Structure 1
Amino acid sequence: MTVRLERRGPIAVLTLDRPEKRNAFDAAATQALDSALNAFEDDPGLRAAVLTGGPRFFSAGTDVRTWAGTPTERGGPYGIAARALRKPLIAAVEGVAAGGGFEIALSATMVVASTEARFSFPEVGLGLVAECGGLFRGPRALPLNVARELLLTGRPLTAERGYALGLVNRLTEPGGALDAALALAEEVAAQAPVAVAETLAAVEAAYAEANAAGWESTAESAVRVRATADAVEGVAAFLERRPARFSGR
């Protein structure tokens, strides 16, 4: 995957570009997003960014044929999930945001989505857990029982319901997520840069301990599930496009 970075005045537009895989992440994609976000954060002329997957989908998460590579130094998984963002980043979501794709959206500062967007945690259907922040960011962004339902069933959440529940900041017609996200980014970029940065840092600092605990418990769960026969079966069934036959082992 390449991640295109376009400058529109003080706004950076970062576009995931692996359409043949619905923007699923392999190691190269993780490095590409990390590099693009580093360039955005290190450019003093850029005050906010929009992350988009294009007009058809946001991201299908991890490419389970190759996996998503090693977490990066500044960004963690996918180059973003453990990143301490110093500037606002707005996810513009069209179509699917599944698994890691949903976790990437949750890693952003705000979310704009079209009515065709769908958010999901399908990991349990593969014998896995949401390893990149979903286990603790999902219950923070959504009511607890709604997050539990998504995490335990893999069912998708519509953008309309996500908007009603506070996950989505702005809801648009199909094809309108990018423009609406740009408008929101422009509102942010028009404010005092130091005040915006300090506000963002203070809000994120309030969750620092909870995030650290969340990453620790997630890592422990991931180790346990990846050692099971169900994880092997779940991934194999997904790749072979057949129902999984889980044994509980």
Structure 2
Amino acid sequence: MEHPPLGPEVDATPRPLPARIAHRGRSVDLEPLHLRHAADLWRAAQGADASWTYLGYGPFADEASMRRQVGTLAAQHDPMFFAVRPHRSGLVEGWLAFMEICPFDGAIEVGHIWFPPCLARTRAATEAMVLLFRHAMDDLGYRRLVWKCDALNAPSRRAAERLGFVYEGTHRNHRIVKGRSRDTAWYSIVDSEWPARRDAMLAWLDDSNFDANGIARRPLASFRV
């Protein structure tokens, strides 16, 4: 009798849980989110109401409301939030998180990304994400890196494709967010793909790829061969 097909055998050792530690980069630092970041984050949120559209919280009516949200997020382990502090300003300007952490399957997501206009589409924004990607895949040995977003969130979908994530499909009626039905688009980078994706990201982030005004000379996708 023929045996039914099975996937390949893999190292089933549970991966370590990420820790609430700082991550230092060339253009940005990540710090475990804390209430002390609330004032900077409130400043970054001014005039940025549209940046909350696809998140489950925000915008906030006043600094006290945002401070309460920061306290709630900072107290969680999954999602595990990090404040984003670009070197150019020295101020905290956004956040992102490890989430859906599955050490027994070796899968982890980077999400809850809030990058207001002062941070979005900058070298620091890309490096902030890459710092967490590298920690998960290189330091902790995860085998699946996940990106998911509202299927209507075109900027997030473009960001996933720019970074080299592979589209896997859309879960229909996946969630209810702010009283609205959400279809969720799923993307991933798996361990066999990761070295080439990482090398492309690092080449894009290298100082040689930026002119005197801090503008990238080449798009990230051009470094993937």
| TM-score bin, normalised by smaller chain | 0.3 to 0.5
Please identify which structure carries the higher strand content.
2
TM-score, normalising length: structure 1? 0.34
Give the structure with the larger helix fraction: 1
TM-score, normalised relative to structure 2: 0.37
